[in-house]
Amino acid sequence: MRALETVLGSVAPEEVRICLPHEHFNVHGPNEASIGIRDHALAVLVPQLEELRERYDCNALVECTSVASNGRDLETYAAIARQARFHVIASTGFFLYERTSWWMKDASVQELAERWTREARQGMDGTGIRPGVLKGASGMEIGDPGRPHHAEVRTWFEALARTHHATGLPITTHASGPASWPQFAALTECGVPPRAIAVGHADFQGSVENLLPVLDHGGYVLHNFCGGFQPRPFDAAIQLIKALIDRGYTNQLLISVDVVYSAGRRCDMLTRTGATGETPPWLRDYRHIFTHVIPRLEEMGVTPAQIRQLFHCNPKAHLCGPW
């Protein structure tokens, strides 16, 4: 297993216990002044992460905000990690076409791969903080040459693959719509080993059958409960996980909340939470896996060994290999 790169430096895989494989801090929302945001983020996030560590044996998460313009704030992540004594793994790469910076839309495979490789070796956004994972996002345009932006998104996935070969970093994705297989195929056609790839948003894939090609070729499927930005049918998400466990894919499933703590939502978080006295269901927090998901899986007969595999073993195996 390779060492895990966190915002505070490399750690040995054995130091990581449960790891949430796809979350966000997203500290700086667009069009906001940054004054006070770091303090607010620390006040909200540090107690949650301390509780994860002390109560639930979870001491790591992957921060999947992969571009600075979407709110990646590495120095705040480092402050959060230091205060909460929590391993935070940052990411680099690209997000959906509509949310991508203008310069990336004209960039070549080589230019992007060189940039991301440099970030992996020297640090991102003017800091010495290096990514522990590469992130890509797309809809169905990745697999359909007839759709707008196919060529650009294809270029970006090729650049991710080239960066993987240069750095050894694993790849995680956001798939809008049933794009998990075309994303996986784009990466494996460029030589990325299947076990270095986690395709995200199983909840967008529509059915078990849409996920089987990725699983049968050895990749990971990542389930997001989408805590921070819109509600998802909880039971459908749980049933999908259980169906895949029953078919023997326990070793290839990753499960996370996909919380988007955003300074842009801070007023909502404060007033709505304050008004009801508890966090509303659509605004779940990082503890959701432990307060809702694991108890429901246990009720459905998922064994302690399977729970351990899902939450202790799989995230580390995807992040650290061997592939």
The reply on whether position 258 binds Zn ion by CB under 5 A is yes
Choose between 64 and 293: whose C-beta lies nearer to Zn ion: 64
| Binding piece for Zn ion, criterion CB under 5 A, among 63-71, 91-99, 179-187, 246-254 | 63-71
**In one letter, which amino acid is 79?**
A
Q: Residues in contact with Zn ion, total (CB under 5 A)?
A: 2
Find out whether 73 and 45 touch, Cβ atoms under 8 Å. Answer: no
Strand intervals (E) in the chain: 4-6, 9-11, 18-23, 58-63, 87-89, 91-93, 133-138, 171-175, 197-199, 220-224, 253-256
Minimum distance from residue 174 beta carbon to Zn ion (Å): 6
> In the window 209-248, what residues touch Zn ion (CB under 5 A)?
none
Choose between 141 and 258: whose C-beta lies nearer to Zn ion: 258
Minimum distance from residue 63 beta carbon to Zn ion (Å): 10
The reply on whether position 141 binds Zn ion by CB under 5 A is no
CA angle 223, 15, 133 (to 5 degrees): 45
| Binding piece for Zn ion, criterion CB under 5 A, among 58-66, 91-99, 110-118, 235-243 | 58-66
Beta-strand relationship, 91-93 and 253-256: unpaired
| Binding piece for Zn ion, criterion CB under 5 A, among 64-72, 75-83, 111-119, 139-147 | 64-72
- 27 CB-near residues (< 8 Å, 6+ apart): 37, 38, 41, 71, 73, 76, 77, 261, 262, 263
Choose between 96 and 313: whose C-beta lies nearer to Zn ion: 96
The reply on whether position 63 binds Zn ion by CB under 5 A is no
Minimum distance from residue 137 beta carbon to Zn ion (Å): 8
For residue 50, the tally of other CB atoms under 10 A from its CB is 14
Choose between 199 and 302: whose C-beta lies nearer to Zn ion: 199
Give the C-alpha separation, 52 to 67, whole Å.
26
By residue count, the chain amounts to 323
Q: Where does this chain bind Zn ion (CB under 5 A)?
A: 64, 258
